Amino acid sequence: MPVVRISLISGRTNEQKAKVAAAVTQAMVDHAGSTAEHVNVIFDEQPRNNWAISGKLLSEG
DSSP state of 45: E
Is residue 47 annotated as a catalytic residue, yes or no?
Answer: no
- Per residue, the 3-state secondary structure of 6-33, as one string, reads EEEECCCCHHHHHHHHHHHHHHHHHHHC
Q: Which of 2, 4, 8, 21 is catalytic?
A: 2
Residues with catalytic roles? 2
